[in-house]
Chain A
Amino acid sequence: MIYYISIILIGIGVYGLLSQKNLFKHLISLALIDTAINLFIVSTGYINGKEAPIYSEFTPIANFVDPLPQALVLTAIVIGVGVLALGAAMLIKIKEKYGTLNVEEIRRGDK
């Protein structure tokens, strides 16, 4: 089920990238695809009836889901934050230069 949800979210993100003209909406679509892929990778490691991969008083002996996708997603989340911040900074610069974030208006102003 969660596989389908994340794939549909990826589809929504791609739709947003293709159909919208506002650059900020492009950035949000990219963030949406990023989140959807993270969700998908984490869900590939889930195993029915198993616990979070931390040795504790409640799970003294290993009975864990796959920890590797979670570790990879931790990396991906941080890089997603970096991409989002850099994209937002570029949007501020574009807005200052052209006065708009609409792709077509930017192209018209360039000529």
Chain B
Amino acid sequence: MRRFLSALIALGLIIILLEFLNLIPDFGNVDLSKRVSNSFINKSVDGNNETIEFKKSKDLEDGSANVVTSIVVNYRSFDTLGEVTVLFTAALGVGLILKGLRRKRFYREPNFILKTANGILLPLIFLFGAYIFIHGHLTPGGGFPGGTIIAAGILVLYLSNEKFELSHRAKILESGMGTVYVLFGLVGLILSGIFLRNFLPTGVIGELFSAGIVPLIYVAIGFKVGAELSNLISEFQKEGQQ
């Protein structure tokens, strides 16, 4: 009976949502010129109307080649600051909830492959994570995926080494990088009157040293997310004392 009623409610919800599909454009037939994203792509929010070309256009209002990054870390950077705060609050909550639990650390004797591959692959995993967040303004990726890859490396460490404990410096790194993000915003506020304004020259689109504060903020976010997720993993792995 319970299953039948739940299926009925779920079905009703599906039918309602299918009705709402009439209100939005068909899949794949969106008129981009009517959407606000058009000015994000052409980087013309401030009224610049030149056509943008890779490795040629100079001194745009936002120099990052990855348009998603330019939205996340430049146009809607305040949003991202809130997002980072949400992640921080979640990590804090996990630490608070799991504090003082009497439980044993999850541990299985790692096999030979894991132990050996750990030594070879771990530096490469960290290097790859750093590559992802340093090139966040040029390639797909950025601070969040890069940080997650670094945290995955920490997870491998936890699985392969019984004695491994994340040091307290990870928490300092995390809060320090959050502060760096806010400081960038405050410098923008002082220099141009707008919080998180891009105050550095943006350079030629598509080069590594371009896009002003976007790569710097993404490096900060990468460290922050990496430290945060590593802390999450270590909270779940920690042996509780009481």
Binding site for B on A (CB under 8 A): 1-4, 7-8, 10-12, 14-15, 18-19, 43-48, 52-57, 59-62, 64-68, 70-71, 74-75, 77-79, 81-83, 85-86, 88-90, 92-93, 96
Contacts and interface: CB of A to CB of B under 8 A. Distances in A.
A85 B67 contact: no
Given A78-B86, A96-B103, A67 B40 contact: yes
A15 B101 contact: no
Contacts of B7: 15, 19
Contact of A93 (B6, B66, B101): B101
B2 interface: yes
Contact of A53 (B68, B80, B90, B206): B68
B51 interface: yes
From DSSP, what is the main secondary structure of chain B's interface residues?
Answer: helix
Interface in B62-97: 65-68, 71-72, 76, 79-80, 83, 86-87, 89-91, 93-94, 97
B180 to A, nearest CB: 18
B183 interface: no
Contact of A74 (B18, B42, B72, B206): B72
Interface of B: 2-3, 5-7, 9-11, 13-14, 17-18, 21, 24-25, 27-30, 32, 35-37, 40-42, 51-56, 65-68, 71-72, 76, 79-80, 83, 86-87, 89-91, 93-94, 97-98, 101-103, 138-140, 142, 144, 205-206, 225, 229, 232, 235-236
A47 B28 contact: yes
A18 B10 contact: yes
Contacts of B101: 92-93, 96
The DSSP consensus for interface residues of chain A is: helix
B13 A14 contact: yes
Contact of A12 (B10, B54, B67, B236): B10
Contacts of A77: 144
Nearest to B102: A96
Contact of A46 (B28, B40, B55, B86): B28
Given A52-B140, A57-B54, A71 B72 contact: yes
A15 B10 CA distance: 5
